């Protein structure tokens, strides 16, 4: 297939995918990307667009958020589109099916998604095997979480198990304590609970660093539903525990005007355009509290290159696409890189 044909096919397929049930469309879209990826001509990043953050080199600031490729099955295909980094997961130690279907809802008029997926994935060992065979040369992040049936008081065991199983194939880890779709998980964002996760992970990282000859950064993914004081407390925890970075933000369970839709989804989290201002406000608060040098990845409601530029201007060193990519496809990435030239 000629490279020039591939973007046209992707643009033509997108309206058809958006007519299918969301989860079915997601799976079909991933298979389509894999089929077309060999003929794809990715946007070219210039040297001036490169970013260095938490000790890693990124060809440009735009990556793909966790949740799009939960198991690393499509890493090479998604990488061929031109993302400088891709975050796999969220991964749990043991495979789990996630919440019952339907669990993904499209709000097309609002350019939003509501998901209550529940960390459906094939488990850490499967993901490690997939990533060890992947050829993608960009930065590989892995979001890690706990299994739904693991008690909260033992959550750290699951994070440690993921760290050990995936350390060799990860460039950074995102500690997911902010998903609204695993019962009680967000309570792990409190200072004491977070310390109980971070400190053992850092100790284990020291042992794994010596064994593997590399130090893999640890980042924390944060909820947009934290109040300003809670965000400041989170920032103090990130500083005091010497975390390598933060990801702001996850999905929201509290956005005015969408109470009925969130109720229909039985407790899911909303992403896309309605999240944009809330995620941006969280970024501003964290940047003010953390200072200019602390690395923050901005995510949530990035539907255009203007949104991406606003997040970078607000202090994000990197950004991640998700819902914007669902609605606009690879054209959004190309638009962002064109703006950054």
Query: What CATH number is attached to the domain comprising 209?
Result: 3.20.20.70
Compute the Cα dihedral for 244, 249, 250, 254 and give only its sign. Answer: positive
- Local structure of residue 189 (DSSP, 8 states): G
Structural domain range at position 234: 46-340
Q: Which residue has the higher pLDDT, 38 or 48?
A: 48
Burial of 109 (0-12, 13-18, 19+ CB in 10 A): exposed
What whole-number distance in Å separates Cα of residue 54 and Cα of residue 209?
15
- Local structure of residue 96 (DSSP, 8 states): B
Instruction: Give yes or no for residue 275 having a pLDDT over 60.
Output: yes
In a domain, 123, yes or no: yes
In a domain, 215, yes or no: yes
In a domain, 13, yes or no: no
Counting the structural domains of the chain, the total is 1
224-260 tens-digit pLDDT: 999 999 999 999 999 999 999 999 999 999 999 999 9
Global pTM?
Answer: 0.96
- 149 φ, ψ to 5°? -90, 5
In a domain, 252, yes or no: yes
Instruction: Give yes or no for residue 1 having a pLDDT over 50.
Output: no
In a domain, 39, yes or no: no
The helix/strand/coil state of 102 is: coil
- Active centre residues (catalytic): 179
In a domain, 269, yes or no: yes
Which of 89, 112, 64 is closest to 297 using CA atoms?
A: 64
In a domain, 140, yes or no: yes
Which of 72, 92, 82, 95 is closest to 37 using CA atoms?
A: 82
In a domain, 17, yes or no: no
**Mean pLDDT for the chain?**
95
């Amino acid at each position: 297939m000629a490279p020039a044909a591939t973007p046209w096919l992707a643009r033509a397929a997108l309206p058809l995918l958006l007519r299918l049930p969301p989860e079915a469309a997601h799976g079909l879209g991933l298979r389509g990307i894999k089929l077309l990826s060999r003929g794809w001509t990715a946007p070219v990043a210039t040297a001036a667009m490169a970013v260095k953050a938490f000790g890693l080199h990124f060809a440009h600031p735009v990556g793909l958020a966790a949740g799009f490729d939960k198991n690393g099955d499509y890493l090479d295909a998604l990488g061929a589109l031109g993302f400088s980094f891709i975050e796999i997961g969220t991964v749990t130690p043991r495979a789990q099916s996630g919440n019952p279907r339907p669990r993904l809802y499209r709000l097309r008029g609002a350019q939003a998604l509501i998901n209550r997926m529940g960390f459906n994935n094939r488990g850490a060992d499967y993901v490690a095997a997939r990533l060890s065979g992947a050829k993608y040369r960009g930065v590989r992040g892995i979001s890690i979480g706990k299994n739904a049936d693991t008690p909260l008081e033992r959550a750290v065991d699951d994070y440690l198990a993921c760290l050990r199983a995936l350390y060799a194939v990860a460039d950074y880890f995102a500690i997911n304590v902010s998903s609204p779709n695993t019962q009680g998980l967000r309570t792990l964002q409190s200072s004491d609970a977070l310390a109980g996760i971070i400190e053992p992970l850092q100790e284990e990282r020291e042992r794994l660093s010596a064994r593997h000859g590399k130090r893999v950064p640890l980042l924390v993914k944060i909820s947009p539903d934290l109040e300003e004081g809670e965000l400041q407390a989170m920032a103090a925890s990130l500083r005091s525990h010497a975390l390598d970075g933060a990801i702001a933000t996850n999905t929201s369970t509290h956005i005015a005007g969408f109470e009925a839709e969130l109720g229909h989804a039985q407790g899911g989290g909303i992403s896309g355009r309605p999240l944009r201002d809330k995620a941006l406000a969280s970024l501003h608060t964290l940047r003010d509290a953390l200072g200019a040098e602390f690395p923050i990845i901005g995510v949530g409601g990035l539907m255009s290159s203007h949104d991406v530029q606003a997040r970078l201007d607000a202090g994000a060193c990197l950004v991640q696409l998700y819902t914007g990519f669902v609605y606009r496809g690879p054209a959004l990435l190309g638009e962002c890189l064109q703006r950054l030239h």
